[in-house]
């Protein structure tokens, strides 16, 4: 095999299949159907049965005569919806300088400088911790198990489910929940009974960022997306957006490239190199 750079991903083959369909509109003018298309890409370096997989809904307009007039991908995470009304301005953000791949320049905190404590469930408190390799593998295992499903032990009422999914993975990796008031940025909890079913920080991308990086310090800045390792978290914010728009978890690291797994458009092991051209700011976090 020839020498490769971080920007290359060796995809040997791919397959496409329909996993579901939903008729959203029927009239004398035609029918609109949403097809869930599963794209499976065989990345040579990924272990067997851990391909790059995406389930992307496509909206198809069909005329009464059966002719297809439009096919539009309904790829929600690229629509950059602002689903959180509040905004915390990172005090360091105004001084950050974007790198060539669009990643805000950030100061890396060495592992030895991260405060560690037990992941107990103390009432009304938050704990600061740096997860070890075993815990971070639990995050990865959970994400790969539930990447295309919903665990009914947790809230299932989110339309945009990306942060809820990552919170579940982190909880299974050792992050403790607390019972603070659900609108507080110091709270972090989710449950399958309610309402409320979860704190804002559990399911909202922007609120999660404020809890993880600002209030609890459970997550620390990384200088570059390529510094991510398995179990770490990547978020992004549109350059015209005032809030975080999406949350993902790193489930593999191959030849320097982080692979991301996330919900909303359910995706497993997507290489960052297929995302980095997006016009967004990236926020990489060590957990």
- Where among 48, 74, 100 does a domain terminate? 74
18 with 147, same domain: the answer is no
Q: What is the pLDDT of residue 89?
A: 36
39 with 84, same domain: the answer is no
Tell me which of 220 and 7 has the higher pLDDT.
220
Backbone angles phi, psi at 88, to 5 degrees: -105, 125
68 with 84, same domain: the answer is no
Residue 4 is assigned to a structural domain of this protein: no
Residue 27 is assigned to a structural domain of this protein: yes
Residue 261 is assigned to a structural domain of this protein: yes
In Å, the largest CA–CA distance within the chain is 67
Compute how many other C-beta atoms are within 10 angstroms of the C-beta atom of residue 115: 10
Residue 41 to residue 22: CA distance in whole angstroms: 25
Residue 145 is assigned to a structural domain of this protein: yes
- Where among 50, 74, 98 does a domain terminate? 74
Inter-axis angle of helices 162-172 and 133-146, nearest 10:
140
Residue 157 is assigned to a structural domain of this protein: yes
State the total domains in the chain. 2
Average pLDDT over residues 37-63: 92
- Domain of 35, in residue numbers: 11-74
134 in Cβ contact with 174 (< 8 Å): no
Q: What is the pLDDT of residue 194?
A: 83
Checking phi first, is residue 125 left (phi over 0); if not, alpha (psi -120 to 50) or beta?
A: beta
Q: Which residues contact 89 (CB under 8 A, 6 or more apart)?
A: none
Is the confidence at residue 16, as pLDDT, over 80?
A: yes
Give the length of the chain: 287
Residue 22 is assigned to a structural domain of this protein: yes
């Amino acid at each position: 095999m020839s020498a490769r750079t971080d920007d290359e991903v060796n995809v040997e083959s791919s397959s496409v299949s329909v996993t579901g369909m939903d008729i959203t509109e029927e009239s004398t003018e035609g029918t609109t159907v949403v097809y869930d298309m599963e794209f499976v890409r065989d990345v040579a370096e990924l272990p067997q049965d851990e391909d790059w997989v995406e389930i992307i809904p496509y909206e198809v307009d069909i005329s009464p005569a059966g002719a297809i007039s439009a096919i539009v991908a309904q790829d929600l995470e690229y629509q950059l919806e602002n689903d959180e009304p509040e905004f915390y301005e990172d005090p360091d953000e105004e001084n950050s300088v974007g790198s060539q791949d669009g990643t805000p320049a950030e100061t890396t905190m060495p592992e030895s400088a991260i405060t560690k404590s037990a992941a107990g469930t103390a009432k009304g408190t938050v704990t600061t911790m740096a997860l070890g390799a075993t815990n971070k593998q639990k995050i990865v295992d959970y994400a790969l198990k539930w990447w295309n499903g919903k665990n009914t032990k947790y809230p299932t009422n989110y339309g945009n489910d990306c942060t809820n999914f990552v919170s579940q993975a982190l909880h299974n990796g050792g992050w403790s929940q607390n019972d603070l008031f659900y609108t507080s940025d110091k709270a972090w909890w989710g449950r399958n009974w309610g309402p409320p079913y979860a704190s804002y920080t559990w399911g909202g991308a922007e609120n999660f960022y404020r809890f993880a990086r600002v209030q609890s310090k459970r997550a620390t800045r990384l200088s570059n997306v390529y510094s991510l390792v398995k179990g770490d978290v990547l978020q992004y914010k549109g350059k015209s957006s005032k809030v975080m728009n999406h949350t993902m978890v790193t489930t593999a690291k191959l030849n320097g490239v982080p692979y991301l797994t996330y919900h909303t458009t359910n995706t497993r092991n997507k290489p960052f190199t297929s995302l980095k051209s997006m016009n967004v700011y990236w926020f990489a976090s060590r957990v």
